[in-house]
Amino acid sequence: MNPDLSRRLILGFALFAAVFFFTLVAFHPLLALGVLFLSHLLILFPTLVANCQWWGPVVTHFETDEREVWLTIDDGPDPVHTPRFLEILQRFEAKATFFVIGQRAAKFPQELEAIREAGHEIANHTATHPSATFWCLPPGRVASEIDRGARPTPYFRSPAGLKNFFVHPALARRGLRLIGWTVRGLDTVSQNADAVAARVLRGAKPGAILLLHEGHRTASDPDFHPRCLERTLAALTRANYRCVLPGAGALKCR
Ligand SMILES: [Zn+2]
């Protein structure tokens, strides 16, 4: 469905539900509550379901005839992981886009520069990564999270893929596109690097967007995320996939 139309339908129904609730709650309380509940569900669904396009376009893949995928790495830069990630990427001749957190980029400028120097892309993953609250931030805070984040490419990824009603208009005004994913390794919750690599490979297909992370468990298990990257790249190489930077013109929404 056209995102403009789905936005209007959801908001129109929310308005109708509010009026309906206050008009009918005294006579048909269960029906009034049911309609109110449904309107909340319709607002929460596109907010909380990462690749749902009801609030606006979310890029979920790119166009290609080759066995190419777009590797994206979130949550850096990180002084422990970034140098190791760059070494592994170079060894596999893979390119990646690093969705960095603005305040980490400011704290670790050397790592950020090393990413750029190695020929990878840097993109915006908010200023402070407010993963628990981004879905309910008011428009001013959404704008500030975007504006204080990195801006070298026209790409934005929200924390955990959550985005509320205000995110798309803010991105559109700044010429930015919301980037989702085709498959994620779930490497921040998994304990097993081989399982992460297998999950990514199962979801891989020409034009897929793959999601891995850096900068987690750097104290408790600093080797885990580099191992996830290495196993994933090895699996992709065996399956004849190449990690490329697709370019904004090739990006597609579902
Ligand atoms: Zn993140």
Residue 237 alpha carbon to ligand 1 centre in Å: 26
pLDDT exceeds cutoff 80 at 249: yes
Q: What is the pLDDT of residue 245?
A: 98
Residue 78 known to be catalytic: no
Domain ranges of the chain: 3-48, 59-253
Domain 59-253 grouped into CATH 3.20.20.370? yes
pLDDT in tens, 96-148: 999 999 999 999 999 999 999 999 999 999 999 999 898 889 999 999 999 99
H helices of 118-188, in order, are: 139-147, 167-173
- Backbone Cα Rg of the chain: 20
Of the residues 74, 75, 78, 187, which is catalytic? 74
Q: CB within 8 A of 174, min separation 6: which ones?
A: 146, 147
Helix, strand, or coil (residue 244): coil
Q: What band does 45 get if pLDDT is binned at 50, 70 and 90?
A: confident
Mean pLDDT of 197-208: 98
Residue 40 alpha carbon to ligand 1 centre in Å: 26
Of the residues 81, 213, 216, 225, which is catalytic? 213
Residue 78 alpha carbon to ligand 1 centre in Å: 13
Mean pLDDT of 157-161: 92
Q: Which residue has the tokens 């967007």?
A: 209
Residue 102 alpha carbon to ligand 1 centre in Å: 11
Residue 160 alpha carbon to ligand 1 centre in Å: 6
Residue 61 known to be catalytic: no
